[in-house]
Amino acid sequence: MSEKYQALLDKVYEIYDLEKATRVLIWDRDTNMPPGGDTARVQQITTLRRLSHHLYTADEMGELIEAADAELTDLPPTSTEASLIRFLRRDYDNARKQPPDLVARIAEVSGRARGVWKQARAEANFAAFRPWLEQIVVLEQERAELFGYQDDPYDALLDKQEPGIKTAGVRAVFNAVKAATVDLLAAIQERGQPIDDTFLYQPYDIEQQRMFAHYVAAAVGYDFNRGHLAGAPHPFSTGFARDDVRITSRWYPHYLSPSIFATLHETGHAIYEQNTDPALTRTPLARDTSTGIDESQSRLVENMIGRSRGFWLVHLPALQQQFPQQLAGVTAEAFYKAVNKVKPGYIRVEADELTYNLHIILRFELEQAMLNGDLAVADLPAAWNDKMRALLGVVPPTDREGCLQDIHWTWPSFGYFPTYALGNFYAAQLYEAALVQNPGLAQEIASGNFTGLLAWMRRHIHQHGRKLAPADLIQQATGRPLSHEAFVRYVTEKFSEIYQL
Amino acid sequence: MSEKYQALLDKVYEIYDLEKATRVLIWDRDTNMPPGGDTARVQQITTLRRLSHHLYTADEMGELIEAADAELTDLPPTSTEASLIRFLRRDYDNARKQPPDLVARIAEVSGRARGVWKQARAEANFAAFRPWLEQIVVLEQERAELFGYQDDPYDALLDKQEPGIKTAGVRAVFNAVKAATVDLLAAIQERGQPIDDTFLYQPYDIEQQRMFAHYVAAAVGYDFNRGHLAGAPHPFSTGFARDDVRITSRWYPHYLSPSIFATLHETGHAIYEQNTDPALTRTPLARDTSTGIDESQSRLVENMIGRSRGFWLVHLPALQQQFPQQLAGVTAEAFYKAVNKVKPGYIRVEADELTYNLHIILRFELEQAMLNGDLAVADLPAAWNDKMRALLGVVPPTDREGCLQDIHWTWPSFGYFPTYALGNFYAAQLYEAALVQNPGLAQEIASGNFTGLLAWMRRHIHQHGRKLAPADLIQQATGRPLSHEAFVRYVTEKFSEIYQL
């Protein structure tokens, strides 16, 4: 190995060890930390972020990148070395655009806004959160200007989550899905066969749910020797290393679904990182290439696998063993239909597979309006409720179930929500490509065997980590760029069959 | 506030935020981390330690200390500012003596030795651990030379735990306690009334034990709004901030004592840090002033409180409610005697209050022999067993119950074990002083009310944090320097009464 490249690696290790340590602080905050720890934890995370930013944006880092690049001229672009240098150059340029005091301000506002949001949500008190969201919008505007854009300020923020993607392209896909979803939803509401999901709403022992969460995570390939499942009020997954990728889930005492599907969702994220190429270990390449591609894997596991007929054919007996009374007499077919019941609601994370994207489209449109100054933060609650009525036909009773429901804006995170819907569309396109490329796969999946599907994902997505940009990865895996088409075909077929349209 | 002092504080915050972050990584490692995470965690901890060492030992730090000191000339020596500058100057000089590559080597050897030790202990395979312990001895010798000493290389390491204390002084106290303990032990074995503790060895449900651990921790004043109790194979406590001090405990399915007394022990450490003066927050002064003083608080809560007659008078009913079958008909008096049964054994952490110090004296003597080159690591198991026979009259069946039982040497930690016994002696001396100074206290304690005793500890120990050196703190609180006398009086009186000698 070249000496200059090794020097670059040593610096990368230092910076990414700090980043991983920050993730441990966040994991601990969200799973174990007592309320008293909050102030100090904000300070600690701020310090670590400032330090890693300082190291990353030093002139020395740029020199290390250029020196390593000059020495490694004839490597193929898909080699780890060339990929790392390519990634670092882009990321370094982006990081250099953010002055240290902005980074520290973001960390601090973010840390403090989080606590305020928590209480504001609990009390359905938007007025308390409003000044913080106003600060966040200003920070996002500053970031957009710093990163720069050609057409739309929102492009600058979107690009941080989904490198290379543009607002206009996302809008086109979203509008197509919006139209198709609204039509399909109307058809279901007008002439769909009713589905009974009442058995999901019964007392379900938390400890038993926790055990089943372990069971389903292992069933779809999560490696517990390199992972750990904990409880968290807002489930997430995070990685401290390829061989230590954590998931969290939550357990409701009277509703079974969140536990199973939050667990499967986070497991989908985690198996992506657990299956990156070991050669990428301890570098920034050893993770998802973008938030959207990451979400494609979580939604694939949650929906294409976890909400499939085959899955419950195989796994319902284990669930019934844990809850013999609650699930007596429930068939796999009835269970499959129940967990796919379409029910427009207020809460994004509780939305069904079909209406979920409408929640995202709403946030995508409101974020842009706030960023562009077309919507004052003070008017957000009303704008939110108007859009809810227009898209989903329901209006949240308070802001707790409305514009205060998500923690994301406190990160801050403009440009992040769209990746949730992009994940659904990537997932459908990848799923369709896997089926087209492997004639036997449909039969396997129908019988509840997902080994082949997951192996295809490992080969085409997981192992590459961040070596390829999302657009290139999707092109290479599916033979075409992202479009709404596979998703629309997938939901139309699935829900037409379920609802006998 | 002075500008220079604020600049110093900002740097201190940065460095101690890194140190606290390292503690979070360690807490997570010992409570949640899957086996796969080990390699990356060693790297992350090594990186954070190297960074904080780098920041701490930079010329800039020395300049900040001197500038702040020059500006704050007329502050009383007990002010926070003067105490912090005094502490930092000493600690900075010590840190500067350690070259960065030694710090990194220690972090790495420590991290890797830990895994080897774990497996070696499980397999009772000293040969596997031996090369690592050899490396550790060499590192400790290097450290001793770097820190420097007048009389004894061991002084240099002892001083890192217990600033200002000398090996010769510790040896004198230890020898006095050794003689008194061996006599008292012989008397108990010859003519003590037998004690029945069989009811402690029965099946005890883990979940119920965990609940009782929460109960006892709260009963002695641990604040769960600023704390969290988790399980760990080797219980410890750690603080990430004054308002976030964690404890761990362990639960055995067939033996009740470890859960209760490990919890009380760690709670004693934690309430010390939870009760430091808020003015010290986020500085290195907001913690125990030395390992020995810290241990005095854990042993006070574990033994003087937790193994007192009054404590069980009050709390046995709650325990019986949780284990009605196992503890039916057991009186507070019988329970008090059972948890104080003197039983020479192999394992330090399971030792009774009387023989515990003999385990420490053994380690104190062996560490010095290895450090001085008088004992080859290869000969450690035999030397260990010889001393066990001489001091406690028992010989461990394998090295698992012998020289492999403790994790400490992997930290590495020469000079640390003695502080466990010093803690017992400090505790007895503090306890006696509190009783002498407060005539009503003995009566309160006899009836199971420890509020007054704990308030005395807060006032004389906890609040001061690291503002005073251990010798000064003990002198100020008890009116005399450390001696073996209070401890010998305490155990002689307690065990003579229990065993009716």
The whole-angstrom separation of Cα A45 and Cα A50 is 8
The whole-angstrom separation of Cα B2 and Cα A57 is 31
User: Which positions ≥6 away from A2 have C-beta within 8 Å?
Assistant: A68, A71, A72
The whole-angstrom separation of Cα B224 and Cα B245 is 9
Predicted local distance difference test score (pLDDT) of residue A2: 82
Ramachandran assignment for A283, one of left (phi > 0), alpha (psi -120 to 50 degrees), beta (any other): beta
Residues of chain A with pLDDT > 70, as a percent, come to 100
Give the helix ranges, DSSP H, for A162-250: 167-191, 206-219
Give the helix ranges, DSSP H, for B123-256: 126-147, 153-161, 167-191, 206-219
The whole-angstrom separation of Cα B349 and Cα B372 is 27
For A255-268, the pLDDT digits (tens) are: 999 999 999 999 99
- Report the residue of chain A nearest B274, measured CA to CA: A36
CB contact under 8 A, A47 and B13: yes
- Report the residue of chain B nearest A274, measured CA to CA: B36
- ipTM value, please give it: 0.91
Please give the order of strands across the beta sheet that includes A237-241: A227-231, A244-249, A237-241
Report chain B's mean pLDDT, rounded to a whole number: 96
- Report the residue of chain A nearest B44, measured CA to CA: A17
User: Which positions ≥6 away from A5 have C-beta within 8 Å?
Assistant: A68, A71, A72, A81
CB contact under 8 A, B18 and A47: yes
CB B355, CB B392: distance < 8 Å: yes
User: Which positions ≥6 away from A102 have C-beta within 8 Å?
Assistant: A139, A142, A143, A146
pLDDT (average), residues A333-337: 98
The whole-angstrom separation of Cα A229 and Cα A248 is 5
Q: Which two tokens stand for residue A158?
A: 């979107």
Please report residues of B whose CB lies closer than 8 A to that of A282. Answer: 40, 43
CB contact under 8 A, B228 and A20: no
Query: Between the CA of residue B12 and those of A149, A177, B81, B274, B324, what are the distances in Å?
Result: 40, 53, 12, 20, 52
- Report the residue of chain B nearest A229, measured CA to CA: B32
Query: What own/partner pairs with CB < 8 Å and gap ≥ 24 does A110-114 have?
Result: A110/A136, A110/A410, A110/A411, A110/A412, A111/A41, A111/A42, A111/A45, A111/A46, A112/A42, A113/A409, A113/A410, A113/A412, A114/A407, A114/A410
10 Å CB burial of residue B156 (0-12, 13-18, 19+) is: buried
For B360-408, the pLDDT digits (tens) are: 999 999 999 999 999 999 999 999 999 999 999 999 999 999 999 999 9
Predicted local distance difference test score (pLDDT) of residue A100: 81
Predicted local distance difference test score (pLDDT) of residue B433: 98
For A267-319, the pLDDT digits (tens) are: 999 999 999 999 999 999 999 999 999 999 999 999 999 999 999 999 999 99
CB contact under 8 A, B34 and A228: yes
CB contact under 8 A, A240 and B32: no
Of A24, A32, A35, the CB nearest to B230: A32
Is B350 a known active-site residue? Answer: no
Chain A residues within 8 Å of chain B (Cβ atoms): 13-14, 17-18, 20-22, 24-25, 27-28, 31-37, 39-41, 43-44, 46-48, 51, 223-228, 230, 240-244, 246, 281-282
Predicted local distance difference test score (pLDDT) of residue A1: 61
What number of H helices and E strands is found in chain B? 20, 3
Provide the CB-side half-sphere exposure for A59 (13 A, CA): 0
The whole-angstrom separation of Cα A78 and Cα A86 is 10
CB contact under 8 A, B21 and A25: yes
Q: Testing the interface with A: which of B9, B31, B41, B52 to mutate, by most A Cβ within 10 A?
A: B41
Please report residues of B whose CB lies closer than 8 A to that of A36. Answer: 223, 225-227, 241, 243-244
Closest CA to A182 of A493, A423, A391: A391
CB A36, CB A67: distance < 8 Å: no
Helix (H) or strand (E) run with residue B54 in it: helix B38-57
Of B36, B44, B243, the CB nearest to A36: B243
Phi, psi angle pair for A255, to nearest 5°: -150, 120
CB A305, CB A217: distance < 8 Å: no
Please report residues of A whose CB lies closer than 8 A to that of B27. Answer: 28
CB contact under 8 A, B244 and A33: yes
CB B262, CB A70: distance < 8 Å: no
Please report residues of B whose CB lies closer than 8 A to that of A273. Answer: none
In this model, does residue A104 exceed pLDDT 90?
A: no
The whole-angstrom separation of Cα B352 and Cα B181 is 12
CB contact under 8 A, B44 and A24: yes
Residues paired with B227 in a beta bridge:
B245
Query: In this structure, are strands A244-249 and A227-231 parallel, antiparallel, or unpaired?
Result: parallel
The whole-angstrom separation of Cα B384 and Cα B366 is 8
Dihedral sign from CA coordinates of A71, A74, A79, A84 = positive
Structure confidence at residue A98 as a pLDDT band (50, 70, 90):
confident
Strands in B277-418 per DSSP E: none
Query: Beta-carbon neighbour count of residue B207 at 10 Å?
Result: 10
Q: Which two tokens stand for residue B54?
A: 């780098």
Rounded to two decimals, the pTM is: 0.91
Counting as low any pLDDT under 50, the low residues of chain B are: none
CB contact under 8 A, A21 and B48: yes
Phi, psi angle pair for B252, to nearest 5°: -100, 140
Q: Which two tokens stand for residue B306?
A: 């937790």
CB contact under 8 A, B34 and A224: yes
pLDDT (average), residues A323-338: 97
Minimal C-alpha gap between A394 and chain B (Å): 39
User: Which positions ≥6 away from B256 have C-beta within 8 Å?
Assistant: B200, B201, B202, B204, B209, B323, B326
Q: Which two tokens stand for residue A437?
A: 């490329």
Of B21, B31, B282, the CB nearest to A21: B21
User: Which positions ≥6 away from B195 have C-beta within 8 Å?
Assistant: B337, B338, B340, B341, B498, B499
CB contact under 8 A, A28 and B28: yes
The whole-angstrom separation of Cα A116 and Cα B88 is 36
Of A43, A223, A230, the CB nearest to B282: A43
Please report residues of A whose CB lies closer than 8 A to that of B31. Answer: 32
Minimal C-alpha gap between B32 and chain A (Å): 7
Predicted local distance difference test score (pLDDT) of residue B483: 96
Chain B residues within 8 Å of chain A (Cβ atoms): 13-14, 17-18, 20-22, 24-25, 27-28, 31-37, 39-41, 43-44, 46-48, 51, 223-228, 230, 240-244, 246, 281-282
Q: DSSP character for B491?
A: H
CB contact under 8 A, B44 and A226: no
For A5-17, the pLDDT digits (tens) are: 999 999 999 999 9
Predicted local distance difference test score (pLDDT) of residue A180: 97
| Amino acid found at B153 | P
Closest CA to B392 of B358, B364, B367: B358
In this model, does residue A97 exceed pLDDT 90?
A: no
Of A34, A39, A244, the CB nearest to B224: A34
Please report residues of B whose CB lies closer than 8 A to that of A40. Answer: 20, 240-244, 281-282
Helix (H) or strand (E) run with residue A66 in it: helix A59-71
User: Which positions ≥6 away from B180 have C-beta within 8 Å?
Assistant: B484, B488, B491, B492
Pairs across A and B, CB distance < 8 A:
134
The whole-angstrom separation of Cα B149 and Cα B94 is 12
CB contact under 8 A, B244 and A37: yes
Q: DSSP character for B246?
A: E
User: Which positions ≥6 away from A9 have C-beta within 8 Å?
Assistant: A283
Structure confidence at residue A101 as a pLDDT band (50, 70, 90):
confident
Q: Which two tokens stand for residue A489?
A: 């075909």
Residues paired with B230 in a beta bridge:
B248
Please report residues of A whose CB lies closer than 8 A to that of B242. Answer: 40
Q: Testing the interface with B: which of A27, A28, A238 to mutate, by most B Cβ within 10 A?
A: A28
Give the helix ranges, DSSP H, for B192-308: 206-219, 257-274, 291-299
Residues in chain A: 501
Please report residues of A whose CB lies closer than 8 A to that of B100. Answer: none
Minimal C-alpha gap between B395 and chain A (Å): 37
Helix (H) or strand (E) run with residue A1 in it: none
DSSP readout, A429-454? Answer: HHHHHHHHH-TTHHHHHHTT--HHHH
List the catalytic residue out of B140, B162, B266, B273.
B266
The whole-angstrom separation of Cα A470 and Cα A461 is 10
b/e code B75-102 from CB counts within 10 Å (16+ = b): eeeeeebbbbbbbbeebbebbbebeeee
Of B34, B51, B281, the CB nearest to A244: B34
Please report residues of A whose CB lies closer than 8 A to that of B246. Answer: 32
Q: Testing the interface with A: which of B43, B205, B237 to mutate, by most A Cβ within 10 A?
A: B43
Q: DSSP character for B75?
A: S
Predicted local distance difference test score (pLDDT) of residue A251: 95
The whole-angstrom separation of Cα B318 and Cα B23 is 34
CB contact under 8 A, B228 and A34: yes
Q: Which two tokens stand for residue A370?
A: 């706030």
The whole-angstrom separation of Cα B65 and Cα B86 is 9
Minimal C-alpha gap between A455 and chain B (Å): 22
CB contact under 8 A, A40 and B241: yes
Please report residues of B whose CB lies closer than 8 A to that of A35. Answer: 225-226
